Chain A
Amino acid sequence: MSTVNSKEGGVDERRITVTVNGEPRTAEIEPRLLLAHLLRQGLGLTGTHIGCDTTNCGACTVLYDGRPVKSCTMLAVQADGHEVTTVEGLGTPSELDPVQEGFTSEHALQCGFCTPGMMLAAKALITENPDPTEEDVRWGLSGNLCRCTGYQNIVKAVLWAAQKQRAEAAAAGTSDNAVAV
Chain B
Amino acid sequence: MGHGRMLRKEDARFVRGRGRYVDDLRLPGMLHGAILRSPYAHARITAVDTSAAESHPKVRAVITGETLAGRGLAWMPTLSHDVAAVLATDKVRYQGQEVAFVVAEDRYAARDALSLIEVEYEPLPPVIDARRALDPDAPLIRDEIDGRTDNHVFDWEAGDAAATDAVFAAAEHVSGCDLLYPRVHPAPLETCGIVADADRISGKLTVHATTQAPHTHRMLYARIAGIPEHKIRIVAPDIGGGFGNKVGMYPGYLCAVVGSVLTGSPVKWTEDRSENLMSTSFARDYHMHGEIAATRDGRILGLRVRVLADHGAFNGTAQPSKFPAGFFTIFTGSYDVAAAHCRVTGVYTNKAPGGVAYACSFRITEASYLVERLVDVLCHDLGLDPAEVRMRNLLRPEQFPYACATGWEYDSGDYPRTLALALEMAGYDELRREQARRRAAYAETGRGELLGVGISFFTEAVGAGPRRTMDIMGLGMADGAELRVHPTGTAVLRVSCMSQGQGHETTFAQIVAEELGVSPDDVELVQGDTDQTPFGLGTYGSRSTPVSGAAAVMVARKVRERARIVAAAMLEVSADDLEWHKGRWQVAGDPAAGATMAQIALAAHSDLELPDGVEGHLDASCVYNPPNLTYPFGAYICVVDVDPGTGQVKVRRFVAVDDCGVRINPMIVEGQVHGGLADGIGMALMELMAFDDDGNHLGASFMDYLLPTSMECPSWELGETVTPSPHHPIGAKGVGESATVGSPAAVVNAVLDAIGVRHADMPLTPAHVWRAVQGRPIRPDLAIR
User: Which A residues are closer than 8 A to B by beta carbons?
Assistant: 7-10, 30, 32-33, 37, 40-41, 44-54, 56-57, 59, 86-88, 90-91, 93, 96, 100, 103-105, 107, 109-116, 119, 134, 137-139, 141-155
Partner of B702 from the list A9, A57, A150 (CB cut-off 8 Å) is: A57
Given contacts A47-B17, A53-B274, A109-B14, 16 further A-B contacts (CB under 8 A): A40-B23, A48-B17, A51-B240, A56-B701, A87-B15, A88-B17, A103-B11, A107-B671, A109-B8, A109-B15, A113-B189, A113-B501, A149-B671, A150-B675, A151-B674, A155-B710
In the complex with contacts A54-B702, A104-B8, A146-B189 CB distance below 8 A: yes
| Separation of A52 and B23 alpha carbons in the complex (Å) | 14
B641 to chain A, nearest CB (A): 16
* Docked complex Cα distance between A144 and B8 (Å): 22
In the bound complex, do residue B14 and residue A150 qualify as a contact, i.e. CB atoms below 8 Å apart? Answer: no
Q: Could you tell me if B707 and A107 are in contact, using CB atoms closer than 8 angstroms?
A: no
Q: How far is the CA of A56 from the CA of B677 in the complex (A)?
A: 21
B715 at the interface (CB under 8 A from A): yes
Q: Which of A48, A50, A51, A149 contacts B675 (CB 8 A)?
A: A149
Distance, CA A109 to CA B18, complexed state (A): 14
- Selected from B58, B670, B672, B703, the residue in CB contact (under 8 A) with A54 is B703
Determine the distance from Cα of A112 to Cα of B9 in the docked complex, in whole angstroms. 12
Please determine whether A142 and B709 come into contact, CB atoms closer than 8 angstroms: yes
The interface residues of chain A lying within 8 Å CB-to-CB of B24 are 40, 46
Contacts of A48 in B (CB 8 A): 17
Q: Which of A46, A96, A114, A119 contacts B189 (CB 8 A)?
A: A114
Select which of B10, B16, B500, B672 is within 8 A of A47 by beta carbon: B16
In the assembled complex, the CB of A33 is this many whole angstroms from the nearest CB of chain B, namely 7
A103-B11, A110-B502, A110-B671 known; A152 vs B716 contact (CB < 8 Å):
yes
B15 touches A149 (CB 8 A): no
Which residues 179-198 of B have a CB within 8 angstroms of A?
Answer: 187-191
Q: Is B108 an interface residue (CB 8 A)?
A: yes
B238 at interface by CB-CB < 8 Å: yes
In the complex, are the beta carbons of A53 and B18 less than 8 A apart? no
Question: 11 A-B Cβ contacts within 8 A?
Answer: A9-B108, A30-B108, A46-B17, A51-B189, A87-B15, A90-B17, A105-B7, A110-B241, A139-B711, A150-B673, A150-B677
**Top 8 A-B pairs, shortest CB-CB distance:** A47-B17, A111-B501, A113-B240, A112-B14, A150-B674, A87-B17, A110-B501, A56-B702
Asked if residues A147 and B711 are in contact (CB atoms below 8 Å), the reply is no
Q: Which chain B residues numbered 646 to 703 have a C-beta less than 8 Å away from chain A?
A: 667-668, 670-678, 701-703
Closest partner residue, chain A, to B671 (CB atom): A107
Residue-wise, chain B 9-51 has the 8 Å CB interface mask toward A (1 for contact) of 0111111111111011010000000000000000000000000
CB neighbors of A among B313-355 (8 A): none
B136 proximal to A (CB < 8 A):
no
Shortest distance from the beta carbon of A43 to any chain B beta carbon, whole Å: 12
Contact with A along B265-286 (1 / 0, CB 8 A): 0000000111000000000000
B292 within 8 A of A: no
Is A7 touching B17 in the complex (CB atoms < 8 A)?
no
A93 to B20, CA, bound (A): 17
| Bound-complex Cα distance A24 to B156 (A) | 64
Residues on the A chain within 8 Å of B191, using CB: 51
Q: How far is the CB of A47 from the nearest CB of chain B, in Å?
A: 2
**Alpha-carbon distance between A142 and B673 when the two chains are bound, in angstroms:** 20
Tell whether, in the assembled complex, residue A110 and residue B17 are in contact, meaning their CB atoms are under 8 Å apart.
Answer: no
- Chain B contacts for A145, CB-based, 8 A: 189, 702, 707, 709
Given contacts A145-B709, A153-B674, A154-B710, contact A52 B701 (CB under 8 A): yes
With A49-B21, A54-B701, A149-B674 as known contacts, state yes or no: A110 contacts B190, CB within 8 Å: no
Task: Assess A8 versus B190: contact at CB under 8 Å? Given A147-B707, A150-B677.
Answer: no
Residues of A within 8 A of B7 (CB): 104-105, 107
Task: Tell me which residues across on chain A come within 8 A of B13, comparing CB atoms.
Answer: 112
Instruction: A21 to B401: give the CA distance in the assembly, Å.
Output: 59
Please indicate the chain B residues that have their CB under 8 angstroms from the CB of A146 in the complex.
Answer: 189, 710
- Least Cβ–Cβ distance between A97 and chain B, in angstroms: 9
Q: Known contacts being A116-B17, A147-B187, is A111 close to B274, with CB within 8 Å?
A: no
Most buried by A among B10, B108, B709: B709
Contact, CB under 8 Å: B190 / A113: yes
Closest chain B residue, CB of each to CB of A105: B7
The chain A residue with its CB closest to the CB of B677 is A150
Q: How far is the CB of B202 from chain A (nearest CB, A)?
A: 28
B525 within 8 A of A: no
Partner of A8, one of B106, B674, B675, B710: B106
Q: Tell me, rounded to whole Å, the shortest Cβ–Cβ distance linking A119 to chain B.
A: 7
Q: Is the CB of A112 within 8 A of B238?
A: yes
Say yes or no: is B57 at the interface (Cβ < 8 Å to chain A). Answer: yes
- The CB with the most chain B CB atoms within 10 A, among A44, A109, A113, is that of A113
Decide: A91 and B16 in contact? CB cutoff 8 A.
Answer: yes
A171 to chain B: closest CB distance in Å?
A: 23
Q: Is the CB of A87 within 8 A of B16?
A: yes
With known contacts A86-B17, A148-B671, A113–B710 Cβ distance under 8 A: no
Is B535 part of the contact surface with A, judged by Cβ < 8 Å?
no
Which B residues touch A51, using CB under 8 A?
Answer: 189-191, 240, 273
Expressed in whole angstroms, the Cα–Cα distance for A113 and B191 within the complex equals: 11
* Complex contact A115–B15 (CB within 8 A): yes
| Chain B minimum-CB-distance residue to A156 | B715
Given A54-B702, A111-B189, also A147-B241 (CB < 8 A): yes
Taking a contact as CB atoms closer than 8 A, the residue among B20, B57, B707, B709 that contacts A10 in the complex is B57
Bound: A134/B677 CA distance, A: 19
Determine the chain B residues whose CB is within 8 A of the CB of A52 once the complex forms: 273, 701-702
Verify B15–A96 contact, CB threshold 8 A: yes
Cα–Cα distance between A111 and B502 once the two chains are bound (Å): 7
Minimum Cβ distance to chain A for residue B360 (Å)? 15
In the complex, what's the smallest C-beta–C-beta distance from A99 to chain B, in angstroms? 8
